[in-house]
């Protein structure tokens, strides 16, 4: 397994979209040239649901001209570079074999372009999807793949279905990924949210919003606690910051390799951190 040759899909999309003058037709073009090929790697998800999921997570919308992104991807030889980084990480962490799907991202999305530096991804136990833009460089690719492949390794070790994951599992999944990024790529690779929370603030949010909910199962229930929710009163990226701080504070007490960390139970990581349940 490894990097999928999505350059062919993107080229087909650009060529077909250039012949269409209507955005509505381009939605169909995107479905045919991008979503249907991706769906071969999602055996139990209806293609229309997959289309919606990818758009929500950062895929370009059909009203965008992705030719500049495609040119940028080819110039940086992204597919070969990602394959190289994947091979290094897989060997070091003894992680699973995954398919890596690189696609153009949504450059009109302010969160992706500003908060996330023009990159976004999704990590599954058997595949990783990377959304890149004309801002994405090699360092960004290394950071993004490190984060998302860490998810694949952690999910392999957890060996749980999505509806079996607890909120604590989800927090630790994100915390481990960012810890892996810091160790492999340096502090400058961390998300901007890293500087927005003091330990005191995180402890406050933990006590008021998270402590009593860490056993809630079902990944779909975790989203507001990971990404934040204005309605609930949780700032953007709070869950990521708490998960990262749990892992960091645990590592101040116990020195483990990333490979070892990936195999530890979530409850053990929490117990040995400064965040007590």
From 126, 214, 228, 199, select the one nearest 168 (Cα to Cα). 214
- C-beta of residue 249 within 8 angstroms of C-beta of residue 217: no
CB 79 within 8 A of CB 102: yes
Spell out the alpha helix ranges (H) of 58-137: 67-75, 78-93, 110
pLDDT at position 190, please?
87
**How many of the other CB atoms lie within 10 Å of CB of 20?**
14
Can you tell me whether residue 235 is helix, strand or coil? Answer: coil
For 5-56, how does the pLDDT look when each residue is reduced to its tens digit (9 = 90+)? 999 999 999 999 988 766 667 899 999 999 999 999 998 889 999 999 999 9
H/E stretch holding 103: strand 99-104
Among 18-27, 131-140, 167-176, 236-245, name the one with the lowest average pLDDT.
18-27
Q: What per-residue confidence (pLDDT) applies to 22?
A: 66
Of all residues in the chain, what percent carry a pLDDT higher than 90?
78
- For Cα atoms 269, 246, 193, give the angle at the middle one, nearest 5 degrees: 150
pLDDT given at position 205: 95
Percent of the chain having pLDDT more than 70?
Answer: 98
Q: What is the mean pLDDT of residues 111-121?
A: 79
Whether 226 has a pLDDT exceeding 80, the answer reads: yes
Q: What is the pLDDT averaged over residues 229-256?
A: 92
The string of pLDDT tens digits covering residues 147-197 is 999 999 999 999 999 999 999 999 999 999 999 999 999 998 987 777 788
Residue 240 scores a pLDDT above 90: yes
Given this model, what pLDDT does residue 196 score? 81
Residue 116: pLDDT band (50, 70, 90) is confident
DSSP SS3 for 60: coil
pTM: 0.94
Residue 266: predicted pLDDT: 97
What is the per-residue pLDDT for 117? 76
pLDDT at 277 over 60: no
Q: Confidence band (pLDDT; 50, 70, 90) for 243?
A: very high
């Amino acid at each position: 397994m490894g990097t999928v040759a999505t350059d062919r899909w993107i080229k087909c999309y650009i060529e077909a979209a250039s012949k269409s003058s209507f955005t509505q037709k381009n939605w169909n073009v995107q479905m045919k040239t991008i979503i249907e090929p991706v769906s071969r790697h999602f055996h139990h998800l209806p293609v229309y649901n997959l289309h919606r999921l990818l758009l929500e997570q950062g895929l370009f919308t059909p009203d965008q001209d992705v030719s500049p992104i495609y040119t940028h991807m080819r110039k940086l030889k992204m597919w070969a570079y990602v394959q190289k980084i994947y091979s290094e990480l897989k060997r070091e962490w003894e992680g699973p074999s995954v398919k890596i799907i690189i696609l153009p991202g949504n450059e009109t999305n302010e969160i992706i372009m500003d908060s996330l530096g023009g990159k976004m991804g999704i990590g599954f136990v058997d595949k990783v999807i990377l959304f890149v833009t004309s801002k994405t460089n090699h360092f960004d690719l290394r950071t993004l793949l490190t984060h998302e492949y860490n998810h694949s390794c952690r999910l392999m070790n957890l060996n749980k279905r999505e509806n079996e994951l607890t909120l604590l599992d989800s927090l630790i999944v994100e915390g481990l990924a960012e810890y892996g990024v810091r160790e492999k790529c340096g502090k400058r690779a961390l998300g901007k949210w890293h500087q927005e929370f003091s330990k005191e603030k995180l402890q406050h949010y933990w006590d008021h919003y998270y402590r009593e909910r860490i056993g809630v199962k079902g990944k779909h229930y975790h989203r507001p606690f990971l990404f934040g929710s204005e309605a609930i009163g949780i700032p953007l990226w709070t869950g990521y910051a708490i998960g990262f701080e749990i892992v960091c504070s645990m590592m101040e007490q116990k020195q483990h390799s990333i490979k070892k960390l990936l195999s530890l139970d979530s409850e053990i990581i929490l117990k040995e951190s400064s965040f007590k349940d």
